[in-house]
Structure 1
Amino acid sequence: MSYKTEQLHEEKVFKDPVHRYIHVKDRVIWDLIGAKEFQRLRRIKQLGTTHLTFHGAEHSRFNHSLGVYEIVRRIIQNFEGRPNWNPAERILCLCAALLHDLGHGPFSHSFEKVFRLDHEDFTRKIILGKTEVNAILKRVEPDFPQQVADVINKTYEDKLVVSLISSQIDADRMDYLQRDAYFTGVSYGHFDMERILRVMRPMEDQVVIKETGMHAVEDYIMSRYQMYWQVYFHPVTRSAEVILSKILHRAKHLYEEGYQFALEPTHFLSFFSGEVELEEYIELDESIALYYFHMWQRENDNILKDLCDRFMNRRLFKYIEFNPNLQMNEWMELFSLFKEVEIDPDYYLVVDSSSDLPYDFYRPGEEEERLPIHLLLPKNNELKELSRQSDIVESISGKKRTDHKLYFPLDLLDKISDDHQGKTRIFEILFG
């Protein structure tokens, strides 16, 4: 028996709050779960700083990755024996589903923005580099790591395989919507996944949905829309992200200026220099980052000390609605006034913008081309793009919503003397 088809003597199961059980029978999947690069995902939160808004959101990338694997496993189970499905692709789909988030760093997207990193790039590097994951995948076939990387990179020749993990209705989204809703305690992310899985059908280059499942897909898309605006873009979470990013910016700036840290930022040095080796990237997780933030509360630099204290003890910035495109003059005046009252605006006056496009159909040549969701009609197996059949989806298709907030430390402003003219003007701009 080859390693590719080797089965465990006894099926392993993970108890899961979303899918009830996650089933593992393949030896290669079990070995990948045990690899240190995959175990590292236990120490990376799925939702970054969201636990400071929704206290239950402590779940990890490890939880989510297992969930995506389980959904793909069930989809494939339903595809068995159907036209257009190649059973030889089974283990490739399962491995790609399990490993799709392998390269996430601590606090995920906030961390990436500061150091201009790409977690997908590091996912490929882990899969193709000198790692335990790579050694396991090579046991399947010498070029198997490249195949897995190609699926995650969306360059694999079989687009049906890619669409299971990366499309507008894929296993990744179906897991994180339900999982994030469960752990944040909200109801928005719930939809009838069982129904969607039952009506999924494999076509040559993508998964399509039987027309009878249209209403379940509508519910899924609206759930995604609500989760983004009620959870993922929550203004309090964004306040924590702003402070986190400013901590990292400040530490990087101090290092470049030759500041002598009481606790040398050893684990961050390669990130500060922009020359990150794979081994250094894998070593840094949220537990280590939080240790530095905790210790930096004792630094001599007042800005770094204050920002770390805010993040560790949830003393977050306040916010107001603020559109920089329409209020640029006010922004420039605030920037000058903050300097006047000796509050550094580079760290304490931040405009944060969030935007989302809940669903779109194919627009050739645009920056982010999106393959639409297709419905399979009963007559002649004709395909129809979802928004052409659904009034609900049509109403939000192609409509990008953007939200701007201005973040600032109200507590520091309150400490300024009331007779200071700068304080009076700042409050006039902020609060009218």
Structure 2
Amino acid sequence: MAYKDEQLSEEKVFKDPVHRYVHVRDRVIWDLIGTPEFQRLRRITQLGTTSITFHGAEHSRFNHSLGVYEIVRRIIWNFKDQAYWNPEQRLLCLCAALLHDLGHGPFSHSFEKVFKLDHEHFTQQIILGDTEIHKILEKVRTGFSQDVADVIGKTYADKLVVSLISSQIDADRMDYLQRDAYYTGVSYGHFDMERILRVMRPMEDQVVIKSTGMHAVEDYIMSRYQMYWQVYFHPVSRSAEVILTKTFQRAKYLYEQNYPFKLEPLHFISFFNGKVNLKDYLKLDEAIVYYYFQLWQEEEDAILRDLCERFLNRRLFKYIEFNPNQMMDVWMELHALFRAVEIDPDYYLVVDSSSDLPYDFYRPGEEEERLPIHLLMPNQELKELSRQSDIVEAISGKKRTDHKLYFPLDVLEQKKDVPEVKRILAILAG
């Protein structure tokens, strides 16, 4: 029997709080889960700094990846007798679903922003590089790893396969909305996934939804909208993310200035130099970051020491609403006042912006264009979702952006008798 067709002698199951069970029968999938590269995802949290606000949100990229695999496995099972579905793509879809987040680094997006990295690039590097993952995929057939990388990179020729992993209604989003809602303890992310899976249909280039399932999709889109603004963009979590980002920036700056760290930050050197290789990338996880943050609390540099202590002990920055387009004069004055009282505004006066587009329709030629969700009508005609749904039409193409100004109120209050600080506090109080 070929490796790609090999089944385990007994089905393996993972108990899962969202899907009840994750089922594995393919030897390939089981072997991939057991690799060091995939096991590393146990040490990368799914929501980064969100656990600062929602204390239950300590779940990992590992269990999210298993969840996405399970949803795709169920979709494929439903597709097995459908036109347009090619059963030869089954294993490719399962592998891409399982491995789609393989390249996430510690604290994901904060880390990427500072060091100008792209997790999808590293996902592809892990799949194509000298790794256990690559060896397993190439045992399926020569070039199979490239196909998996292409699906994740959204360049694979069969767009139906790509849409299962990356679209406006894909397995990735369906898992993380429900999983993140479960672990944060909120109700916003819940929607009727069972109904959506039942009304999904494969077409030539994408998955479509039977028109009878429109209301379940409306619920899914509104759940996504609520999760972004109530959980993912929560201002307290963003405060922790600001401090985390500034900590990385300060450590990088000190390294570039030949600052004598008490313990050389070996795990970060290639990141500081902008010459990250795959071996160094895979060595870095959140346990390592916490280790260095603990050490850096004892450093001579006051800013690095303070930022690490703030992050580890949840001594966060306060915030006010701030519109950079209308308040630049205020920003310039605050910047000057912070410098006057020897509080470095580069680290302690930070504007953070969050924006989201809950649903977009097809606008060809635009940057980051998104294929719309199509409804399959009883006459087999396809209709774009927002043309049929008043709810979705109301939010289609509307990008909401939120700006906050973060600052250390505790430090300012210690100097509240200083005239410049009195002016700062008056400005911040509005």
Q: TM-score range by the shorter chain?
A: over 0.9
1:332 alignment counterpart: 332
Query: In 2, Cα distance between the equivalents of 1:417 and 1:391?
Result: 52
Please show how residues 221-260 of structure 1 align to structure 2 within 5 Å: 221-260=221-260
- Residue type of the partner of 1:416? K
The sequence identity of aligned pairs, in percent, is 78
- Residue type of the partner of 1:83? A
1:431 alignment counterpart: 429
Displacement of 1:263 in angstroms is: 1.8
Displacement of 1:233 in angstroms is: 0.2
Query: In 2, Cα distance between the equivalents of 1:228 and 1:72?
Result: 23
- Does residue 187 (structure 1) correspond to residue 187 (structure 2)? The answer is yes
- 1:96-149, CA deviations, whole angstroms, 9 ceiling, x for partnerless residues? 000000000000000000000000000000000000000000000110000000
Displacement of 1:427 in angstroms is: 1.0
TM-score (structure 2 length as normaliser): 1.00
Please show how residues 275-286 of structure 1 align to structure 2 within 5 Å: 275-286=275-286
- Residue type of the partner of 2:386? S
2:23 alignment counterpart: 23
SS at match of 2:216: helix
Displacement of 1:267 in angstroms is: 0.1
SS at match of 1:323: coil
Please show how residues 32-431 of structure 1 align to structure 2 within 5 Å: 32-379=32-379, 381-418=380-417, 420-431=418-429
1:6 alignment counterpart: 6
Query: In 2, Cα distance between the equivalents of 1:404 and 1:366?
Result: 25
Is contact 2:103-2:126 (8 Å) kept?
yes
SS at match of 1:325: coil
Query: In 1, Cα distance between the equivalents of 2:158 and 2:245?
Result: 39
SS at match of 1:218: helix
- Residue type of the partner of 1:424? K
- Residue type of the partner of 2:50? T
SS at match of 1:4: helix
SS at match of 2:107: coil
- Residue type of the partner of 1:201? R
- Any unmatched runs of 5+ in structure 1? none
Residue correspondences, number: 430
Displacement of 1:368 in angstroms is: 1.1
Query: In 2, Cα distance between the equivalents of 1:203 and 1:404?
Result: 40
Query: In 1, Cα distance between the equivalents of 2:201 and 2:242?
Result: 42
TM-score (structure 1 length as normaliser): 0.99
Query: In 2, Cα distance between the equivalents of 1:302 and 1:360?
Result: 46
Query: In 2, Cα distance between the equivalents of 1:82 and 1:220?
Result: 24
- Residue type of the partner of 1:12? K
- Residue type of the partner of 1:422? E
- Residue type of the partner of 1:193? M
- Any unmatched runs of 5+ in structure 2? none
Displacement of 1:417 in angstroms is: 4.4
Moved more, 422-431 or 107-116: 422-431
Displacement of 1:81 in angstroms is: 1.2
Query: In 1, Cα distance between the equivalents of 2:425 and 2:185?
Result: 36
SS at match of 2:32: helix
SS at match of 2:24: strand
- Residue type of the partner of 2:291? Y
- 1:178-226, CA deviations, whole angstroms, 9 ceiling, x for partnerless residues? 0000000000000000000000000000000000000000000000000
Is contact 2:416-2:422 (8 Å) kept?
no
Please tell me the root mean square deviation across aligned C-alpha atoms, in Å.
0.5
Q: Please list every run of at least 4 consecutive aligned residues from structure 1 whose deviation after the TM superposition is greater than 3 angstroms.
A: none
- Residue type of the partner of 1:98? L
Query: In 1, Cα distance between the equivalents of 2:367 and 2:244?
Result: 29
Displacement of 1:255 in angstroms is: 0.4
Query: In 1, Cα distance between the equivalents of 2:191 and 2:344?
Result: 46
SS at match of 2:310: helix
Is contact 2:78-2:198 (8 Å) kept?
yes
SS at match of 1:303: helix
SS at match of 2:21: strand
Query: In 1, Cα distance between the equivalents of 2:39 and 2:142?
Result: 24
Displacement of 1:152 in angstroms is: 0.3
Query: In 1, Cα distance between the equivalents of 2:327 and 2:385?
Result: 39
Query: In 1, Cα distance between the equivalents of 2:159 and 2:231?
Result: 31
Is contact 2:293-2:308 (8 Å) kept?
yes
Query: In 1, Cα distance between the equivalents of 2:164 and 2:181?
Result: 21
Is contact 2:41-2:62 (8 Å) kept?
yes
- Residue type of the partner of 1:129? G
